Amino acid sequence: MNASKFVAVSALAVLAAVTSIAAQADEADGSQFAVQVTSQRTRAEVRAEAVAAVGDRSQELAALGVAAVPSKATRADVRAQAAQALRLGKISSGEASSL
């Protein structure tokens, strides 16, 4: 008697699991929720707006009290100074330096 109840309960559990998986199979796709959007602007307009937004960062920094200081050093000068500081041990290098 116990064996037949066990078999019946396990059969119902398997049936419930299969039904649950079948019910969720439609939800896994998600394509029925996709929305078709037609853009009102061209790619060039969006790109121009993005470039303009990046250019306005100087005003945000000025509002915070940060002033942009133009540098008179060339890239090569800065690299040479960094290499010399590294050789002299004034700055650390590598992963071990972060410890």
Q: Quick check: 52 and 46 in contact, CB under 8 A? A: no
pLDDT in tens, the chain (99 residues): 577 777 777 776 776 766 666 555 555 556 666 677 787 889 999 999 888 877 666 677 777 777 777 889 999 999 999 999 999 988 887 776 555
pTM above 0.95, yes or no: no
Is 82:91 a contact under the CB 8 Å cutoff? yes
Q: State the DSSP string of the chain.
A: -HHHHHHHHHHHHHHHHHHHHHHHHHHHH-GGG------SS-HHHHHHHHHHHHHTHHHHHHHTT-------S-HHHHHHHHHHHHHTTSS--SGGGG-
The C-alpha atoms of residue 29 and residue 27 are separated, in whole angstroms, by 5
